[in-house]
Every structure is written in structure tokens, then in C-alpha cells.
Structure 1
Amino acid sequence: MTLHALHALHAPLSLLTPLNVSLPLLLPLAMLVALGVDRLLGEPPVKLHPVVGMGRYLGLWSAWLTSLPPRKALVAGAAAWLLGAVAVAALALLVEQAVWTLLQPWRGTAALLAASGVLGLLLKPMLAWRMLREEVAAVETQLDRSLDDGRQQLSRLVSRDTTVLNATEVRETAIETLAENLNDSVVAPLFWFAIAGLPGAAVYRFANTADAMWGYRGQWEWAGKWAARVDDLLSWVPARLTGLALLAGRPMLLGPLLREAGRTPSPNGGWPMGAMALRLDRRLSKPGHYQLHEGGTAVQPGDMATAQRLASRALWGCVLALALLAAGARGGLT
């Protein structure tokens, strides 16, 4: 394939050429802007949040999809997903193109800073690192008050029944949620942004939202099967990147991680959760489903803060790797 053909495949980013910006620097800078805005401001208002809009779209189909017989539910669920994904990708593409059009008068460094700033602001709603950290940290804070308060806080993060969990299980679940959502809520959106710009991040966020709403057994067994499988596919590489980043250069843990990652029903969740269990040297489990790092000791009250530090370091390792990926991919188009 020629460079001209490759250039066309990466539209609309190729439309930045008239702006005279450095394409290899654009997406890495936009990632830093998005993470900076996330740290300073957190989530956008609910009424303006695009992920809330995605959820509302998915919710429109729920009653109808779950009323269908299995074969029709499978086809209809896939069709509804595809319709939403195409709409999300098209809207993100239009927004990117509008940005480039507005920035046509800009040149050089000013164009690069303006483009990366606007693109970073648009990327921010596709990731949620600050909210994840705060919600997980609040579990330990509420546990200090009472077990019931800790359970209640945890119920904001997970769909399972938290009323039957003891304090150790509450902490385990919170740490598992932190590790798994480090990938789902932060690393994976950045990965697809590095690959395909704003449309890539938006489609991933739509896929992950669809899996969260539709990817269950029971009444969603067939209607949500497409959503669950696509989310597994799109999360495959980012989950492994997240797990390796959590190991933080400890190659002796790679073999154990390969073993632990296979213990969860999800093909992806075991990578970040298993890596976190190994780094903490703690057992992490979901009663009746899996146990990670069985030889580790029980989770302790101070482990939540340690897990937060490990996750933060892993995130920045992933950001560096993805910045290099984005810079290398765009560098080949210039």
C-alpha cells in the first residue's frame, strides 16, 4: 500500500496537513490535555456528557430486545449496536473535521497547540480516571465508618450484590474494579485514540457502554451477545498492555500473570486484575467465580492506597507507550 493510500485511511487527521502542524506530536499532546482536564475538572455535566447520551440510546432498545426470541434477539442486538456505533463514529468524524476547518487560519506551533487542546477537550469525556480513583478511594473511607457504608459505596461501582460481602471482600472487589477499569475507562480509550483518533475513542466508549448495559446473561443472553463479544475484541490488546504496565518491569511475574489471567471468565479482565494481585501479593477473588493469586495474603486496609499508586504508575507507563505508538503511526504519514 502506498503512502498516499495510508494517508487517506487516516482521515480526517490527514486534513491537518494544511495547518502545518506536526502530526506525530498532535495525538500525544491531546492525550496529555485530556488527562490534565480530567484531573482538574473531572466529568462534564450529565446533560452534556456524550457517554450519558450513548447510554440513553442503548436504553431505548432494552425492552424490545429482551422481549425477542433468541435468534431474533441476537440479530436485532447486533443491528442496534452497529447503528449506534456508526452514528457515534460519524458524529466524532464530523466534529474533528469541524475543528480542522475552524483552525485553517492557524499555522505552526500555534496550530499544533490549538488543535491538540481542542482535540484533548473532546477526548476527555471518553475517559474517566479521576472519577474512578475517587469512587474507589471512597470505599475505604466509608468502610472506616461502617461495613454497611462501605458496601453501599461499592454498589456504585459494581453490579453484583454487595450486601453479602464482608470487609475483606469489599476491599478485594474495589481493588479489582480499580484494576479492570484502569483498562476499560482509561487505557483502552487512549489506545483506540492513538490508533484512530477521536472516532476510535468514541466507538470504543460506545462498545464498552453497550457491554456494561447489555453484556449480561439471563434476559440479555442473546440480545447482548454481540455487544459483549465486540467489547472483548476491542479490549484485547489494551487489557494486556495494562496488565504488563502494572507489572512495572518485573519480568519474573510474567509467567504467574499468564496463569492468573486465565482464571477469570472474561478473556481480558484477568490481565489487569491478576497483575494487581501479584504486585500487591494479595488474594483477589469473586466468590463462586474465581480467585487470583491464591498464594497471596488477605487484603489489608492500607492496600487500597497502594493499589491506587500502582495504577497511577501503570497508567503513565501506558500513556508513554501509546504516545510513542501514535507518534510513530502519524510520523509514517508525513
Structure 2
Amino acid sequence: MSTAALLIPALLIDAALGEPKWLWSRIPHPAVLMGRLVQALDDGFNDGEGKRGKGVMAVCVLVLTGLLLGWILSWLGAVVSVLIAAILIAQRSLTDHVGAVAAGLRHGLTDGRTAVAQIVSRDTASMTGPQVARAAIESGAENFSDGVVAPAFWFLVAGLPGLLIYKLVNTADSMIGYRTEAYEEFGWAAARLDDVLNIIPARLSALLLAIVTRRTGDWGMISSDARKHRSPNAGWPEAAMARALGVALAGPRSYDGAVRDFAWVNETGSKSAGAHDITRCCEILWKSWGLTLVLVVALGLLF
């Protein structure tokens, strides 16, 4: 079977079931196992001299692990491939978590802050309502690329090995890909490879978002806004979502008690986003998922 034919049921299973708590409360989620592997490499290699070289070796271990494990699992048949792909694609989980922030804000600012703290790494204790809403929308847009489009793309391109390599590298980037004293050198390879693996998916995500919201005519402005973002990839889906909602995203925010003055994406948009904008964001994410499914079905029919 083609990877497109396998991806169709995987997308549908994820959309229907998401992350069943009864299962992952009993056994470790594959993402947890990936995190443990990254942590073991961090603990074992991130010290002494030559941290950049050690970080490169750690990423090589991750890539070879994904390649070998994906190859072995793919021999177990189509059902196994479909189930693993469904587990590692996160559309339902993404929209559930982002939607929970809207529900929290409607109940009160404290609940909104608590909900958004589950999905962002920035300081949330003193966020205003619009800051909570913007953080949720940014997370929704960025993770549509990282958690849905990119895994689907790499599964289409290279089957389970491609999917597992992507998820391992993306997990490493989220854990050690920071420009801090501890990870500036050791996490360099993980961050750079993650950037490379997301070049196409990030722009494809932005295009999907623009198509379903009829904002393709704004592509020049989306492109310009994306390049203002601190990330070479995250700015693309965020810029498309910002234009779709008519809000400004990114901008200054606090990490570990220090305010960082990031540029605005769609600076002329409204800076008073609220729960209704988060809800609209989730609706757009589902429409974009639907377009993704249609495209995968078309690929399955063609190949």
C-alpha cells in the first residue's frame, strides 16, 4: 500500500480518538519514550569539552534509531503503520488543548492562565486576557505545522522511518534546542536539523490555512510577516493564522521573569484577542485538517 493510503485512516483515527487517557495512563506514550531517549543522551553527553560535536553525535543516534525502528515496525504490516501514524499525529489533541484555553478564559482569567500554561513555555502568571488568547492561537498555529502537517508530510515521503526521525528530532529540539548556556552548543544540531525538516511543512501549513480562510491574496504579507518571526519556520503558520483572524501575534512576552521584545506578526491587527478568537482558530485548524485529508485522499487515488 502507498503511504497516502495508510495516512488516510491514521488521520481519521487521530481525529476520532485523540489521546485516550485510559491507554496512556497504563503504558508510556511513544512521545514520552522519545523524551526519555533525548534526556538520556543529554545526561550522557552534555558535559565537558566539544559539546557541539557531542550534540551532533546525539542527533545521529536519534536519526539512526528512527530509521532502524521505523524500518522494523513497517515490516509488521499496514495496521501497525496506521496505528503508529495515528498516535504520532496530534490534530485532536491540539484542538482540545487550545479549545480548553477558550473555555478557561470564558470562566475567568485565572482559569485561562492555567489552561494556557499547559501548552506554552512562557511565563503565564501575570498574563492579561489578550496575552492568554494570543499565546493559545500561536500555539495552535505552530503546532498544526509541527504536530499535524510535518508528521503527515514525512510519513508520506518516507513512511514510518521518516515519521519517527521527524518526531525524534522535533522532540530533541523542544528539549535541548534552546539558546541557553546549557544548550547553545549541545542543542545546536537538533535545532538546525529540526529547522531543515520543517522548511516545507511550515510553508505548506501556512498555505493550507490561507486557502481555507480565503487569504491566499495576502500571501505576500504573510511571507513578509513570517520573516519577522524569531523562528525560520514557526512564523509561517502564525502569520497565516494572524491574517485569517485579523489579530496581531507574537510580540513581547516573558520567559523566566525576563521580558523579551519579539517583533509582532501582523502588527496592524487587533491586539485584543479573546476567547472567541481562540474558538475561531480551532475552527480554522479543523478546516485545514479537512483540506489536508482531501489532498491525501487525492494522492492515494493518484498513486
Structure 2 CA distance for aligned equivalents of residues 154 and 320 of structure 1? 31
Matched-pair contact (CA < 8 Å) for 2:95–2:140: yes
TM-score by length of 1: 0.81
Question: Given the alignment, which residue of 263, 273, 277 partners 1:290?
Answer: 263
CA 1:253–1:205 in 2, change beyond 3 Å: closer, same or farther? same
* Unmatched runs of 5 consecutive residues or more in structure 1: 1-22, 100-114
**Greater CA drift, 48-57 or 189-198:** 48-57
Partner of 1:247: 210
What amino acid is the match of 1:299? A
Name the Cα RMSD after superposition: 1.8
Structure 2 CA distance for aligned equivalents of residues 68 and 315 of structure 1? 45
Matched-pair contact (CA < 8 Å) for 1:247–1:275: yes
What amino acid is the match of 2:286? S
Shift of 1:295: 1.2
Partner of 2:15: 39
Matches within 5 A, 1:78-117: 78-99=56-77, 115=78, 117=79
Partner of 1:305: 279
Matched-pair contact (CA < 8 Å) for 2:90–2:147: yes
Question: Given the alignment, which residue of 139, 144, 151 partners 1:182?
Answer: 144
Matches within 5 A, 1:21-32: 23=1, 26-32=2-8
**Greater CA drift, 261-270 or 309-318:** 309-318
Shift of 1:81: 1.5
Matches within 5 A, 1:5-84: 23=1, 26-43=2-19, 45=24, 47-69=27-49, 72-84=50-62
What amino acid is the match of 1:93? W
Residue 224 in structure 1 maps to residue 187 in structure 2: yes
Instruction: For residue 94 of structure 2, give the secondary structure of its aligned residue in structure 1.
Output: helix
Structure 2 CA distance for aligned equivalents of residues 292 and 27 of structure 1? 35
Structure 2 CA distance for aligned equivalents of residues 214 and 257 of structure 1? 29
Structure 1 CA distance for aligned equivalents of residues 10 and 3 of structure 2? 10
Instruction: For residue 98 of structure 1, give the secondary structure of its aligned residue in structure 2.
Output: coil
Structure 2 CA distance for aligned equivalents of residues 75 and 151 of structure 1? 39
Instruction: For residue 165 of structure 1, give the secondary structure of its aligned residue in structure 2.
Output: coil
Residue 321 in structure 1 maps to residue 295 in structure 2: yes
Matches within 5 A, 1:253-264: 253-264=218-229
Partner of 2:173: 211
Shift of 1:320: 3.2
Larger Rg: 1
Matched-pair contact (CA < 8 Å) for 2:63–2:168: yes
Shift of 1:141: 1.3
Partner of 1:157: 119
Shift of 1:48: 4.0
Structure 1 CA distance for aligned equivalents of residues 76 and 43 of structure 2? 36
Structure 2 CA distance for aligned equivalents of residues 39 and 206 of structure 1? 22
Matched-pair contact (CA < 8 Å) for 1:232–1:267: yes
TM-score by length of 2: 0.89
Instruction: For residue 186 of structure 2, give the secondary structure of its aligned residue in structure 1.
Output: coil
Residue 267 in structure 1 maps to residue 232 in structure 2: yes
Partner of 2:101: 139
CA 1:325–1:234 in 2, change beyond 3 Å: closer, same or farther? farther
**Percent of pairs with identical residues:** 33
Matched-pair contact (CA < 8 Å) for 1:139–1:174: yes
